[in-house]
């Protein structure tokens, strides 16, 4: 534990500085941290730094805060999107430190370890005792209804207490239940108070957590991320904690069962040692620290007992005899769980043991004999011993670091996250859909604009080519007409226009007579047809130009026919004249009934304007 001892010395110096007792050691500590950070990460960054875009995090850091130690693991992804270990660290802290001192210590440790906190996604844990995991089978329903079906099924089973806990779930594929296809669902609840306490701890030091999960899900991460190989069978992890034990079963990459066990904990072993020593001596009651030293002395990697320590004369076999009842109870609970759990009598291929303290290898042989299953310590670093970060770490430290490694392999796509549940995922998915729709809309508009721009550009190019061609054709037609020639042509046109106008005035009367003759029916006899004089007159003006005056005609005649139809026939005749293009403003000056050849006729006089 040499690396841990070095961290203990650094921690004590930092706490002294925080308390204001030792300022000189602060500069020394800073130099030590600086040299460490320059020694380890600088060498690896060249190898593991992947390219990232925008504000995507480069590293993921797992933080496991234990009773005496803080375990830190940093991972990243290589060019093939596979996780690789960047750095790890075990830091001991004083349990006597106040909350303020611990917060300052935690912040400085994280900043030193991360380098830049902004480039790291930080994941941590809440206790497994604050998390309840259940497994359901729900009918196959449309995707839109699935969330509600899972929620109300869990509600019906009594798993949900919305006032005290958060609720989340994860689909684990399809199964057959009584020959009916159903969804296999893992659901879990976590107490809101424990989540808020953990979020508050990190927010008080200015760090925003990317996720909060628990140890069984961290172990699941190690298998889902392909960090450790898995088989198609069932394997288990047996966690031996300070106050409780827990057995977790995994099938392929998925957690399929988790159950807490009250016996088999480290405290149970310490109580067994204390009771055995008291029974042997009759008057010696060991303190908790003394019993812990005796327990830890079993491991070859731990510090041996001194001659001044209680239990110095105990042999290894005697200590194992003291704690064997605890192991037996633990083995019976595990065996009972195997027989009565949802996995039934399916064979468990392997049991991994994870302990919160250093335990002896004897427990492996004991559990293997009792359960008939291959048992080994959980060492996820065994496949990555070539890394500079792990080559100097002994087995106990690698076991202690395994939960932190699992946290550092977390990702919202594969890790249950107590602060990013299915509700947040659904909202994020909707937001992504909206953003994608907006982006595609803008992209479509941009494509239309580009196509229009290209089309207009080609059109302009075509028009320019046509313009050049027409200019060349125009140049071949000879020189342009001069201003004098245009004036001369305009004078000729005006002269011809005046001449044609005079001809029109001269023969206007003849044309009007012909028009009226054509429009006059046989029952109308014209007596007189006069064209008013002076339609075109030349007055004595300086320019001697003709001046137009109003032209007109006076038509006199009689209408033959029925006495009652004479007025109507006159009106029809006036309308015919009015519709003529040569006459307008036709009006009746006078009309009267007279006798002509012993018949009554209508005599009339009409006025009209020519033009």
Classify residue 102 as exposed, middle or buried by CB count within 10 Å of its CB (0-12, 13-18, 19+): buried
Map 545-603 to HEC letters: CCEECCCEEEEEEEECCCHHHHHHHHHHHHHHHHCCCCEEEEEEEEEEEEEECCEEEEE
In sequence order, what DSSP letters do the residues of 80-128 get, joined into one string? Answer: TS-EEEEEEEEEE--TT--HHHHHHHHHHHHHHHHS-GGGEEEEEE--G
Helices (H), 383-421: 395-408
For 150-187, write each residue's pLDDT tens digit: 999 999 998 989 899 999 999 988 888 888 899 999 99
**Model pLDDT, residue 390:** 62
- C-alpha dihedral sign at 413, 415, 419, 424: positive
| Domain encompassing residue 586 | 503-610
Q: Is residue 305 part of a domain?
A: yes
- CA-nearest of 237, 232, 211 to 380 is 237
pLDDT less than 50: residues of the chain:
1-15, 17-55, 535, 538-542
How far apart CA 580 and CA 568 sit, in angstroms, is: 19
Q: Are 82 and 47 in contact (CB under 8 A)?
A: no
pLDDT computed for residue 121 by the predictor: 94
Three-state secondary structure call for residue 185: strand
Position 480 scores a pLDDT of 65
Is residue 515 assigned to a domain? Answer: yes
Residue 30: per-residue pLDDT: 39
Query: Which pair of tokens denotes residue 336?
Result: 């009972």
The β-bridge partners of 147 are: none
Is the C-alpha dihedral spanning 413, 415, 420, 424 positive or negative? positive
Res 371: pLDDT: 87
Q: How buried is residue 124: exposed, middle or buried, by Cβ count under 10 Å (0-12/13-18/19+)? A: buried
Looking at the domain assignment, is residue 363 inside a domain? yes
Q: What is the CATH number of the domain that holds 315?
A: 3.30.420
Domain-located, residue 297: yes
Under 8 Å between Cβ of 560 and 523? yes
Point out the domain boundary residue: 341, 374, 407: 374
How far, in Å, CA of 577 to CA of 512, rounded? 11
Q: Which residues make Cβ contacts (< 8 Å) with residue 245, sequence separation at least 6?
A: 238, 239, 260, 261, 262, 263, 264, 265, 330, 333
Q: Which of 358, 374, 390 marks a domain boundary?
A: 374
pLDDT score recorded for residue 40: 41
Report the half-sphere exposure of 432 (CA within 13 A, side-chain side): 6
Helix (H, G, I), strand (E, B) or coil at 501: helix
Distance from first CA to last CA of the chain, Å, rounded? 124
Per the domain annotation, does 55 fall within a domain? no
pLDDT of residue 79: 86
Domain count of the fold of the chain: 2
Q: Is residue 307 part of a domain?
A: yes
Residue 552 is part of a domain; what is its CATH number? 3.30.70
Q: From residue 92, how far is each of 67, 68, 102, 437 by CA, in Å?
A: 9, 6, 11, 51
The answer as to whether 482 is a domain residue is no
Handedness of CA 500, 506, 510, 515 (dihedral sign): positive
Residue 347: the pLDDT is: 82
Q: Where is the domain boundary, 349, 374, 399?
A: 374
The candidate with the shortest Cα–Cα distance to 610, out of 528, 539, 555, is 555
Indicate whether 517 belongs to any domain: yes
> Which pLDDT does position 51 carry in this prediction?
43
How far apart are alpha carbons 605 and 544 in whole angstroms?
A: 36
């Amino acid at each position: 534990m040499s690396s841990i001892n070095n961290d203990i010395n650094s921690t004590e110096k930092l706490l002294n500085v925080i308390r204001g007792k030792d300022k000189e050691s602060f500069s020394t500590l800073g130099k030590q941290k600086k040299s460490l950070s320059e020694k380890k990460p600088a060498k690896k960054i060249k190898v593991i730094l992947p390219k990232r875009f925008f504000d995507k995090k480069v590293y993921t850091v797992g933080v496991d805060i234990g009773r005496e130690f803080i375990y830190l693991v940093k991972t990243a992804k290589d060019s093939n999107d596979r996780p690789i270990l960047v750095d790890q660290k075990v830091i001991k802290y004083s349990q006597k430190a106040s909350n303020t001192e611990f917060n300052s210590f935690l912040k400085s440790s994280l900043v030193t370890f991360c380098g830049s906190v902004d480039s790291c996604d930080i994941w941590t844990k809440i206790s497994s005792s604050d998390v309840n995991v259940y497994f359901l089978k729900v009918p196959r329903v449309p995707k839109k209804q699935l969330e509600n079906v899972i929620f109300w099924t869990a509600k019906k089973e009594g798993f949900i207490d919305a006032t005290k806990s958060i609720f989340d779930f994860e689909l684990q594929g399809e199964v057959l239940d009584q020959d009916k296809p159903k969804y296999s669902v893992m659901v879990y609840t976590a107490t809101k108070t424990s989540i808020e306490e953990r979020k508050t701890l990190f927010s008080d030091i200015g760090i925003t957590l990317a996720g909060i999960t628990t140890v069984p899900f961290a172990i699941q991460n190690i298998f889902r991320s392909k960090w450790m190989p898995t088989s198609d069978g069932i394997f288990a992890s047996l966690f031996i904690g300070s106050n409780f034990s827990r057995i977790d079963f995994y099938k392929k990459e998925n957690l399929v069962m988790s159950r807490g066990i009250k016996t088999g904990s480290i405290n149970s072993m310490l109580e067994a040692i204390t009771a055995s020593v008291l029974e042997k001596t009759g008057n010696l009651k060991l303190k908790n620290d003394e019993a812990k030293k005796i327990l830890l002395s079993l491991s070859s990697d731990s510090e041996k007992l001194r001659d001044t320590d209680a239990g110095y004369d105990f042999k290894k076999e005697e200590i194992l005899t003291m704690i064997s009842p605890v192991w037996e109870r633990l083995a019976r609970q595990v065996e009972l769980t195997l027989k009565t759990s949802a996995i039934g009598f399916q064979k468990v291929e392997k049991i991994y043991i994870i302990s919160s303290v250093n335990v002896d290898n004897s427990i492996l042989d004991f559990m293997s004999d009792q359960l008939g299953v291959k048992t080994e310590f959980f060492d996820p670093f065994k496949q990555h011993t070539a890394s500079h970060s792990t080559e100097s770490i002994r087995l106990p430290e690698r076991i202690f670091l395994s939960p932190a490694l699992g946290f550092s392999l977390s990702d919202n796509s594969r890790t249950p996250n107590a602060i990013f549940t299915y509700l947040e995922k659904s909202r994020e998915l909707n937001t992504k859909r909206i953003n994608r729709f907006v982006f595609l809309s803008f992209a479509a508009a941009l494509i239309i604009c580009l196509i229009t721009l290209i089309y207009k550009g080609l059109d302009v190019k075509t028009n320019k080519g046509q313009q050049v061609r027409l200019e060349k054709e125009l140049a071949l037609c000879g020189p342009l007409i001069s201003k004098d020639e245009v004036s001369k042509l305009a004078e000729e046109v005006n002269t011809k226009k005046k001449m044609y106008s005079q001809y029109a005035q001269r023969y206007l009367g003849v044309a009007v007579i012909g028009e009226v003759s054509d429009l006059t029916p046989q029952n109308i006899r014209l007596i007189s047809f006069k064209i008013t004089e002076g339609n075109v007159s030349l007055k004595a003006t300086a320019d001697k130009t003709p001046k137009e005056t109003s032209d007109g005609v006076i038509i006199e005649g009689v209408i033959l026919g029925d006495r009652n139809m004479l007025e109507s026939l006159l009106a029809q005749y006036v309308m015919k004249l009015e519709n003529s293009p040569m006459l307008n403003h036709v009006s009746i000056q006078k009309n009267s009934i007279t006798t002509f050849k012993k018949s009554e006729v209508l005599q009339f006089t009409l006025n009209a304007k020519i033009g």
